Chains A and B, each alone.
Chain A
Amino acid sequence: GAVVSQHPSRVICKSGTSVKIECRSLDFQATTMFWYRQFPKKSLMLMATSNEGSKATYEQGVEKDKFLINHASLTLSTLTVTSAHPEDSSFYICSARDGDRESSYNSPLHFGNGTRLTVT
């Protein structure tokens, strides 16, 4: 099945630093990837939709200058949390759909294993 790899799985950084998270589709091409954030005991919240070769589409309330998304190839999207603060500590998960292999409808998301970010 489709595999999505996310790296790093865990990162601890100091306040004010930037953190880059990578999301790769290993055995399929992903023109669209999605970035989610999940706080403890809360639902996954869509942050942005990453489109290969174009600008990401951010959800309302998500600062595009704070969460930089780059989708330079069909297999790689990156999320950079700039000038991280303790309130950015969360579980960040990327996902992608294999639009080429699966039919347009009912094409499920395949998730990376997530990145647990702790900002001290």
Chain B
Amino acid sequence: RKEVEQDPGPFNVPEGATVAFNCTYSNSASQSFFWYRQDCRKEPKLLMSVYSSGNEDGRFTAQLNRASQYISLLIRDSKLSDSATYLCVVDPEGHSGTYKYIFGTGTRLKVLA
């Protein structure tokens, strides 16, 4: 089983739609979780960290489900500019004082006019 798994998509949604992505991780001791956004041929940019209690930033909501070992990202009222690849990042070793960030393969989102 891969350490971090995502559905590669693509997810094609109309403008204004709500879309959700999940990401599963294999190491139950993982402590740190993030969602990044990557545009074509660019570096990843931090979208949001994922906190245990869940967190929201504008149209974006992130959730953590430790029991089932997955994190999710919900995007409401999709905009054309949301089209990108969304990367799930897990740090399976942060709790031990070392850090090793593992990236999922990314989920491609395309918002259609």
Q: Is B54's beta carbon under 8 Å from chain A?
A: no
Bound: A56/B88 CA distance, A: 25
Closest to A45 in B: B103
- Segment touching B, from A12-20, A69-77, A79-87, A109-117: A109-117
In the complex, which residues of chain A have a beta carbon less than 8 angstroms from the beta carbon of B99? 32, 49, 97, 107
* B94 near A43: Cβ-Cβ < 8 Å: no
Contact partner of A43 among B31, B42, B43, B104, CB < 8 A? B104
* B32 near A111: Cβ-Cβ < 8 Å: no
Name the residue among B41, B44, B95, B105 with the largest chain A CB count within 10 angstroms.
B44
* A111 near B43: Cβ-Cβ < 8 Å: yes
Assuming the A-B contacts A44-B87, A46-B101, are A105 and B94 also in contact, with contact meaning beta carbons closer than 8 angstroms in the complex? yes
Contact partner of A108 among B31, B34, B102, B105, CB < 8 A? B34
* B43 near A105: Cβ-Cβ < 8 Å: no
- Scoring B residues 96 to 113 as 1 if CB is less than 8 Å from chain A, else 0, what string do you get? 010111111110000000
In the complex, which residues of chain B have a beta carbon less than 8 angstroms from the beta carbon of A113? 42-43
In the complex, which residues of chain B have a beta carbon less than 8 angstroms from the beta carbon of A67? none
* B49 near A106: Cβ-Cβ < 8 Å: yes
Contact partner of A106 among B32, B45, B102, B104, CB < 8 A? B32
Q: Is A21's beta carbon under 8 Å from chain B?
A: no
Bound: A97/B93 CA distance, A: 14
Q: Is B46's beta carbon under 8 Å from chain A?
A: yes
Q: Is B71's beta carbon under 8 Å from chain A?
A: no
Assuming the A-B contacts A32-B99, A43-B106, A109-B89, are A104 and B94 also in contact, with contact meaning beta carbons closer than 8 angstroms in the complex? yes
In the complex, which residues of chain A have a beta carbon less than 8 angstroms from the beta carbon of B31? 105-106
Interface residues of B (CB under 8 A from A): 31-34, 41-46, 49, 51, 87, 89, 94-95, 97, 99-106
Interface residues of A (CB under 8 A from B): 32, 34, 36, 42-46, 49, 91, 93, 95, 97, 104-114, 116
What 3 pairs between A and B have smallest CB-CB spacing? A43-B105, A111-B43, A44-B103
